[in-house]
Amino acid sequence: MNNWIQLSEKEKVESINRVSIATGLPNAAIEKDWWVTMSLRALFSCECANHIVFKGGTSLSKGWNLIERFSEDIDIAIDRAFFGFEGELKKKQINNLRRASC
């Protein structure tokens, strides 16, 4: 799968076309799914992998095969303990974080 990056543009198009013919899926969906898969591989290969939760519709599709779905987004959550934040947040801290993130 990693070798795909090293293919020429022509080889990439041919590869995507072959998968499209075999699956009946549009070329754009196949390429997007490849990038989603590679992004997940990178995320779960990093040092924070044990602190990441993969969630949402894409996880139901790719992780559990419960639904058929192609998505351009990946919903993840990272345990804040990984960043050194322990204990419960106070309501004021939560509100401050929400304001700062907007």
pLDDT tier at 15 (50, 70, 90 boundaries)? very high
**Residue 1 pLDDT > 70:** no
pLDDT tens digits, one per residue of 24-61:
999 998 888 888 888 889 999 999 899 999 888 777 77
The whole-model pTM stands at 0.70
- pLDDT of 2 reads 62
- Provide, rounded to the nearest whole percent, the portion of the chain with pLDDT above 90: 30
- pLDDT of 23 reads 92
Q: Where are the domains of the chain?
A: 2-101
Instruction: Identify the bridge partners of residue 52 per DSSP, sorted by sequence position.
Output: 78
What is the rounded distance in angstroms from the CA atom of residue 79 to the CA atom of residue 41? 18
Mean pLDDT value of segment 80-87:
81
- pLDDT of 24 reads 93
How do beta strands 75-78 and 52-55 pair?
antiparallel
